[in-house]
Every structure is written in structure tokens, then in C-alpha cells.
Structure 1
């Protein structure tokens, strides 16, 4: 039996605290097993609406499944004016408090409907019992046209036995490695559990084909994919788990967290709570990595500062001008760190691949780790023992040597006297006709090349710590734009020179 009714249009923001405004909602009566009840609610969000609003749904006892579908208008707007875009997610009877105890899933704008029940859920949502109480549909008006955003929500409850929730199975934290070695990985990827189009199995196959040793699950604002990676991992591929925390003031990759870790995204820099969620990432074993900090997309520019960051993504997907800006900003942070005697922030790169033709492993972070384990890989990234390469063809060896045989590699310090001679050596493979640049706190102090068509070559440069506090390497493609540098083929973290 199907019971249906339509609720009147919901008035805007009728109740709720400032940090969790609530719209008019819907309620359901009890029903017999197998029966369905449907409610439809409409409303309009004005321009300038809060980042997130909530539609309460009163769920009675005996519900097996909750299903939600939605639509909204997309009116014409003048060129340069944002139109309508509305994200959606779900919180259960445990509430919508910041921290996400009631979180049951998020699909952003990637889906127009979803369901949740004990034994299954739409990708991006968490299976589990549909318990009695006040649930909330979370609406995220990403952009609202000047004339407002009119939406329609349809909620269907199916009554019956709840079924059993499967115990989650997570990928192992270790793969077969080579001991202390350089391992290649892509730490920013999206599957169909958020707005990607590939399954975990398809991503894993592409990672293997690209010669990657590790990857990281990083769905937008949900950890629902964590329990779906076990079959994709294997002795040859380490799968780490995380989330891309997609706030309205920038995105951050929670890299390599414990299985089942959820990190809330419903805050801005002005709220002063980012440190709380950065600590959660670290407490669950992960790293805090601001993603594409200068990307031009709305809400992507990073506004939380870097005091809580463990690394920063300076290269995201095919190399573009916003990556050049991220690299320059990161280099300025390096200069400040050596001048002020502060700790430094390592750089990394990832593909952010979502769908064809996005290339998994373009770029990839190449990490010197003690073994192919979650802990060892994260420690290598945190220590800056890494470089970024555009493909598996490109490899680097970058070292600094003192006059008495002292030696340091990427992310390390060559502790010699300020006026001691230092020889910096860079060997490159897989980068035909590319130019080599050595960059210090004083700027670019060495340029060499182009490399031969074989793509292999080596350069040496001599300096002292008093002249260069650090040195890092860039390998760049040819350019037709005169003095502007070409697109990146590879870049390293620095080697620091001189006493601490």
C-alpha cells in the first residue's frame, strides 16, 4: 500500500539556532510492514542563505528504509552571476551538531536521490538502522541566484523489518614493499562514493597500470567509501583511507586516517574551529593537507592558514597557473621558515582524478619510506622525504654533499659550517628536453638544459650554506612563452643547508 500527501511550501528558516537553521519539515504516521508513505515539501531559499540548512523529518518506529529525492530550479542569470546549485546530505536521529555524530551521508550535488537502510545505502551514505526520531535532510545552497532557489524534496519511508547491517571490512595497512625505498602514490582521488564516476575497483586497476604503490580514498565530505576498498587493495597496492573535507573556505585532504573516521566540513575560517578538526585528523593517524589552495573554483581558495597543516598540495592534476601560484606561495613559506627559524611545510602533488579522461597518478608523490605501510608512508610525507612527478617515467635523485663526505637527501639537512663548500647534484630520468632549475631562498640560482631526447641527465652546482639556506629542484617542460617557466615535470622538497 502506498500513502502519499503533499506538504505546503516550507517557509524559509522558521526555527533553529544560528549555526543550524531549520526549515519547515515533514512528519509520518506509523504504518504496517511493507507499506510506503511519501511526503513532498517545497520551499525557497533566498539569496544570502546560510551555508547549510536542515529539513526535519519525523520518523516513526518500524521503518526499514528512508529514501529522498530532490530537484530545484535553475533560472537564467546574467553572465558572471552565480546561478543555483544545491547540495544534499542526511543526518539521523542523533542530530546535526558539529562533529557529525548523526552523519549518515553526503552526495553534494552529484545525485538527485539516495536511500539508507540497515543492510545497504546509496554510495556516499552509511548503511544502518532507520531508527525512530527526528532525522534531518541537510541542504547546502552552494550558490543562489538573485531571484532565489526553489526546491522540492520528496521523502519516502518504507516500513518493515530493518535487516542486518554488515560489519565493515577495511583494507590492510600494509602491502608487500621493498624495505626502505621510494614508493609512488596518488593521495587525492574520487570514486562514485562522492562525485567521481569510477568504482574503487576501476581506480585500483588504473593505479596499478600507472605503477603506483599506494593511493588514498578522499571522497568529498563522507567516509562512506572506507568499507568498500578492501577488495581493491592487495599485496601490490596499499590503500589508505581519508576524506576531502570540502568547506566553503577551502578543501583539505584528511590523508591516511583510521578506518571509519569522519571529519566535519560545516564551518568557515571565521568560526575558529578548524583546529579542532585538524586535531581529529591527526589523532586518528592522518595528515592535514590543504588541497589546491589557489584553485579558482568557488569556495576552493584556502583561507584557514597553514599553522595546522602537515603538508600542502602544490600540484593538483595537469599543471596549470593555479599550481604555479600554489608553488610560489609554498616557496614563500619556506623562505619565512628559514629566516624565522620555524618548522617547514612539505609539498606534495596528487591527481584529484574523478572520471575519464582524468589520469590517475598525474601527478604522483614519490616518498622515501621505510616500508609500504600506512605509518611509514605518512611519516615520509610528513618529513618531506618526497618529490612530485608527472608520471611513472620521471624519476629523480637529488643530494647535497659536504667537503668531508657529509650527505643529505630530499627533506633532510646537511649540517655543515656556513662557509663550507657544498655540492648539489640532481640526476633526472624520463624528462626529454626538459630544463632543470635549482631554487633557493634567494630565488632561482641555477638553470640547466635542456636535457637530451633520452630524458636522462645530471647537473651539479656548488654553493655554501651562507649563500643558500635551502635548495630544491624543478624539472620543467619547454615553453613558448618567453621568460615564463614551462609546465612542471617534477619538483622536489628542499634540502636544508647549514647548522640548525
Structure 2
């Protein structure tokens, strides 16, 4: 039984975007609504991009899919990935649009919202088989330290809950196959994936960390931890405060990356964590990310992430690999404390810190570069060296960075 339908039609202009990049379109949800269906139509080939989301009658977050979807359904029992299931309280809801790209001649659009008193059947999930034991890349044998050990992981990945192509299980299976111990799932501007992470990780033999990539036109930041939804409409300083007050932490993402480089102010306090190593660092002979890190904070904590979206991109989870020294079950604590290292992959040359010593593994023929610029040549596959405070790195003879260590 159909309860009602709302339609919005028009054309956005460059002036509209300049005035306010976010636009809410009202939708009346009457009593007795069991399902809300929304569709967005616009000329995608005309150079325009509209992002899509949903707010409840009190302005509460109910979902975001950015430019990845043109339709979604929300019911009390289930919702399209990226959106939150739950009661559909009567009142005026808002279909949220972000005018991400509007061409000079404008961008026509149509939004249709249909409410129904009947709950449609939930889509049946298709789960891949659990990864067999012999399907995992062997773990490296690394020295433990004070009841802690090194864990290999990836801190930036997307699923069908935003603009990735894989389900949570499929992504977890792929990451486990690469030999990773953990993976942070950081879908854009949503936390709809968080409730499903523990079960998917358990099925595939990998720890899935809750994350979200707070995404705006002026910069992206990952928030790690079960913090609740971070409102991307507020300022970066508010993201940082909300993340920390909820027990999580924030990292600036790919600060030098193309059209999503970091351009936002934090006020009087900057976060220590930063995604120094991202796939957009295509030529690691160029030191721009390291120069940015040194200018950002002298005590920066380096992180790395593959920014995995689809297998077709050719970047598997763990490229690069972030290593964390942590107690069992305390990965977020180890990350928060800055016990991190980064390598090009799970089996690539590695530089690890043990208190005031560094261990270079599989790095013979490379050079250790200390924060003060002094250098030491690595000649053996397993080499211990003294280490001071700050960011250390391994370079090849061509000055290509192959490993980082906080």
C-alpha cells in the first residue's frame, strides 16, 4: 500500500553551489510508514555530480551514499548499504544533496520520495566461503616486545556501504588472503557498516576496525573507533573533538592528493595522525609527503592506507601495509599511541622501532635516514640500529622511500 509520494524537480546552478553546497529537500513521512524509497535522477554525463543522503525529522543522520548511488530504501528492519534501518518517525525528513560538481550551464535534477505502509522483503545477502587456512599469505616472524607484537593491516578501505564494490565479507576475505591481521573499514560519511564488522571479520579470520572517512570538498579525514557518526557538515576541529571525546582518534587523509588534498583549518590544535603513505604517492623519490608531515607536526604519527575501492583498480588491501605494535585485542590503543610503521606491502622491506632501537628487515642495500638527516647503510637482511625520536625512513640508492617508522 502506497502512503504518499513527494517529487522535487529543478536545476542547480554554479551560483547555488557557491551559496551553499549542501541542500535539504523536505519529504513528508506520514504515520504508519514502514518504508521510504528515494530516487535521484540527473544527467551524469554532463559533468555534474550530486551526492545523496538522508536526515530524519529531528535532523538525525539516517544515511549517506555520496555519488555512488541514485536510489535507496530505508525500513525499520533493513536499509540499503550506507543507510540506517530503524523506525520511520512521522514528520518532515530531508533528502540531503551535496552539489559536488555543477557545470556552467547548470544541472537539472529530479528527486522522488515514496512512502509505503508495507515493508518490502530484505535483499538476501550472498556470503563468500570463509578463507581457508592455506589461502592466507604466511605471517612474518617478528620479535615481540613487552607483551606486545606487531600486527599487519590497512587503515583505509571502502565497501558497498559507500563507493566500494565489495561486500564486507568479500573485502575481509581479500584482506585476510593478503596476510593482514586487521583492516579498518572507512566508508564515506556513514557508520552503517559498523554493526556488521565483528561477524564479517570472525567469518574471514581478520579483525575489522570501525572507521569512517569524513569526506568534504576541502579534505578527507579518517575517524577510527566506535565513535558514532561524525557530522561532516561541521568544521574539522569539531570532528577532532567528537572523535576524541567518544574514545576514537582522527587522521588527516592523503593531504596532497589531487582534488581531495587537505585544505581545512583545525584551529589551535592539529591531530598527530596523518595518512602519509597513500596510493597517490606515485613516485616515492619525491619527498612532498614527508615535507608536509614535517611542517604539519614534528611528532606526526605516520599511517598508510590502500584506499581500496574495487579489485579492478589493481591496489590490493595492504598496499601499503601499516604495522602496529599492540597487545592482543588493543589495536586501536597501539595506533592511538603511535606505535606504527609502514611498508610497501606485507612482505616488503620493513623498519620497526623497539624502544630506542630500530630493526631493519629485508632491507639490505638500502639506507636508513634519520630525522636529523644522518644516514646509515644497511648491509644485512636483519640489522639493529640506534634510533632517536621522530620519523625515520628507509631509502633505496635512488632515494625512493620504501619504509617509514614513527
Q: TM-score, normalised by structure 2?
A: 0.84
Note if contact 2:84-2:192 (Cα within 8 Å) is conserved in structure 1. Answer: yes
**Which residue number corresponds to residue 316 of structure 2?**
359
1:70, 1:398 → 2: CA distance?
Answer: 49
Q: Secondary structure at the match of 2:252?
A: strand
Greater relative CO, 1 or 2 (CA 8 Å, sep 6+): 2
Note if contact 2:243-2:249 (Cα within 8 Å) is conserved in structure 1. Answer: yes
Of 239, 242, 266, 1:277 maps to 239
Q: Secondary structure at the match of 2:87?
A: coil
Note if contact 2:256-2:262 (Cα within 8 Å) is conserved in structure 1. Answer: yes
Note if contact 1:290-1:302 (Cα within 8 Å) is conserved in structure 2. Answer: no
**Which residue number corresponds to residue 54 of structure 2?**
90
**Which residue number corresponds to residue 475 of structure 1?**
394
Q: Secondary structure at the match of 2:155?
A: strand
* Backbone CA RMSD of aligned residues: 2.8
Note if contact 2:343-2:403 (Cα within 8 Å) is conserved in structure 1. Answer: yes
Note if contact 1:219-1:244 (Cα within 8 Å) is conserved in structure 2. Answer: yes
CA deviations over 1:246-271 (Å, ceiling 9, x no partner): 1222111001234xx1001013xxxx
Give the deviation of 1:119 after TM superposition: 1.0
Residue 304 and residue 362 in structure 1: after superposition, are their counterparts in 2 closer, same or farther (change >3 A)?
A: same
Summarize the alignment of residues 375-386 of structure 1 with structure 2, pairs less than 5 Å apart: 376-386=330-340
**Which residue number corresponds to residue 436 of structure 1?**
367
**Which residue number corresponds to residue 332 of structure 1?**
295
1:250 aligns to 2:219 (yes or no): yes
1:241 aligns to 2:174 (yes or no): no
Of 196, 203, 224, 2:164 maps to 196
Give the deviation of 1:288 after TM superposition: 0.9
**Which residue number corresponds to residue 13 of structure 1?**
none
Higher Rg: 1
- Total equivalences in the alignment: 375
Note if contact 1:315-1:327 (Cα within 8 Å) is conserved in structure 2. Answer: no
Q: TM-score, normalised by structure 1?
A: 0.69
1:57 aligns to 2:58 (yes or no): no
| 5+ residue gaps, structure 2 | 123-143
Q: Secondary structure at the match of 1:232?
A: helix
**Which residue number corresponds to residue 173 of structure 2?**
205
**Which residue number corresponds to residue 230 of structure 2?**
263
- Please identify which structure carries the higher helix content: 2
Residue 127 and residue 440 in structure 1: after superposition, are their counterparts in 2 closer, same or farther (change >3 A)?
A: same
Give the deviation of 1:89 after TM superposition: 0.5
Give the deviation of 1:36 after TM superposition: 5.4
CA deviations over 1:32-75 (Å, ceiling 9, x no partner): xx235444321111103211001001121111111111111257
Note if contact 2:236-2:264 (Cα within 8 Å) is conserved in structure 1. Answer: no
1:194, 1:161 → 2: CA distance?
Answer: 23
**Which residue number corresponds to residue 10 of structure 2?**
43
Note if contact 1:88-1:139 (Cα within 8 Å) is conserved in structure 2. Answer: yes
Summarize the alignment of residues 52-131 of structure 1 with structure 2, pairs less than 5 Å apart: 52-74=22-44, 83-95=47-59, 102-131=60-89
Residue 437 and residue 53 in structure 1: after superposition, are their counterparts in 2 closer, same or farther (change >3 A)?
A: same
2:57, 2:106 → 1: CA distance?
Answer: 30
| 5+ residue gaps, structure 1 | 1-33, 77-82, 96-101, 165-177, 268-272, 338-343, 400-408, 415-423, 464-468, 480-484, 494-500
**Which residue number corresponds to residue 127 of structure 2?**
none
**Which residue number corresponds to residue 132 of structure 2?**
none
Of 91, 102, 110, 1:144 maps to 102
Give the deviation of 1:108 after TM superposition: 0.3
